[in-house]
Amino acid sequence: MKKNSWGIPATLAAPGLSALLLLGASLLVGPAAAQDRVLQAVPEAGVLVTKARTLRAVQTANPECTAEVLRGRTPDGYLCQVRVLTAEADSVEIAAAAAPRTNAALKRRAALAATACRLGAALADYRPVNARPGLDRDRFTARALGCRAVGSLYDALLALPQGSAAASALEGDAALPACWAGKPLKQIVCNCGSEAAHLGEAAFVSPDDEMLNAVNLGLYARGCFLDVKGSGSSLVDLKRVAPGSGPATAPGAASDRSGAVKRYVQSHEFQFKHCADRASGRRPTEPSKVEACMCDVITRWRLPKSEPGSPVSEVQVATSPGPILIGVEASGQVASCHLVAGDRGVVSSQSAPAR
């Protein structure tokens, strides 16, 4: 039998050497790095996508999302699945009266949003060798869309009437998906948005990109930089002083509405600084650009309600870019938003979007 220089039979040396090389390669790559090169499986995604009523609409808007692509465990397939799940989650209307444990609509929407987030996170963690061009952008897009789904759920719960049984899900009800581990929903939304923003920066996405801008505005509008939990992160019918106190004596009611709005705007001054910073690269700074950015943030707020039938009330507050004039309906929705330029009056107007 032919032997090599160490006296080992060649027929045994070759397999042994191959095994040694494989072992060395695995040690060099490491378990974590090896896992990053494989897309994490999200088994429930396939069933949710197949049963989604919005599937055909998403495929029409995104022709690349064919049935074959959707079934494939590829970056393209995961991105298409996130698109379907996000659209489906947004189409589910939550019933306010039912508590989270018995609220089928809430549980379905939460399951869709959580799965979209998991898919986006799986694609964000995917680090293949010799990645194809554009994969960094797809990672960001998938993560941002998943974050949008859970952000829309958070906004929908905030918009429910005060004291609604379903609104208790804001604090992390156990009926919500286990992957959220009972954390306050705001914490889930803010962590997701922050990760998406970092992915956008890593992918060199333009600061003026529509999707990245939406991610950043969502972080600001939802008060992600404030240490506030649940519905306290917005002015959704500010909490009453004591049990049984009526609307007339509630903090933030009509008698104190102007002061409440001013305090809220002042605590969110960093949002408007962000708008001013974005416009500072323009010479001269265009007031309309600053106003559009500020009003896009403001119209997402829900402000204190007043007595039904009350006329639109206007509140002017000082901000670093300039005074802002806000028109608030009795329902608490923002009816108008104006940036005021010194003694020249209102420079232009931004009406609140249709709801």
Query: What pLDDT digit, counting tens, does each position of 268-314 carry?
Result: 666 677 777 766 655 555 677 788 888 887 887 777 777 777 788 88
Predicted pLDDT of residue 174: 84
Residue 104: is its pLDDT beyond 70? yes
Per-residue burial over 317-340, b if 16 or more Cβ lie within 10 Å, else e, is: bebebbebbbbbbbebbbbbbbbb
Which range of 18-27, 42-51, 323-332, 340-349 scores highest in mean pLDDT? It is 42-51
What single DSSP character describes residue 352?
P
Residue 137: is its pLDDT beyond 60? yes
Number of continuous H segments (helices) and E segments (strands) in the chain: 13, 4
Predicted pLDDT of residue 179: 86
Name the pLDDT band for 228 (thresholds 50, 70, 90): very low
Query: What pLDDT digit, counting tens, does each position of 62-88 carry?
Result: 999 999 999 999 999 999 999 999 999
The ranges assigned to domains in the chain are: 31-231, 256-355
Predicted pLDDT of residue 12: 45
Q: Which stretch of DSSP H or E encloses residue 336?
A: strand 334-339
Predicted pLDDT of residue 344: 40
Residue 319: is its pLDDT beyond 80? no
Q: Report the alpha-carbon distance of residue 112 to residue 213 in Å, rounded.
A: 24
Which range of 6-20, 302-316, 322-336 scores highest in mean pLDDT? It is 322-336
What single DSSP character describes residue 226?
S
317 close to 327: Cβ distance less than 8 angstroms: no
Q: Residues 47-56: what's their mean pLDDT?
A: 94
Between 343 and 138, whose confidence is greater? 138
Query: What pLDDT digit, counting tens, does each position of 212-226 carry?
Result: 988 988 887 787 865
Q: Residues 87-91: what's their mean pLDDT?
A: 94
Would you call the peptide bond into 284 cis, given omega within 30 degrees of 0 as the criterion?
A: yes
User: Which pTM does this prediction carry?
Assistant: 0.59
SS3 state of residue 317: strand
Q: Report the alpha-carbon distance of residue 8 to residue 10 in Å, rounded.
A: 6
Predicted pLDDT of residue 29: 46
160 close to 87: Cβ distance less than 8 angstroms: no
Q: Residues 197-212: what's their mean pLDDT?
A: 89
What length is written for the chain? 355
133 close to 64: Cβ distance less than 8 angstroms: no
Predicted pLDDT of residue 10: 52
Q: Report the alpha-carbon distance of residue 169 to residue 303 in Å, rounded.
A: 21
Query: What pLDDT digit, counting tens, does each position of 160-200 carry?
Result: 887 788 888 988 888 889 888 888 898 899 999 999 999 99
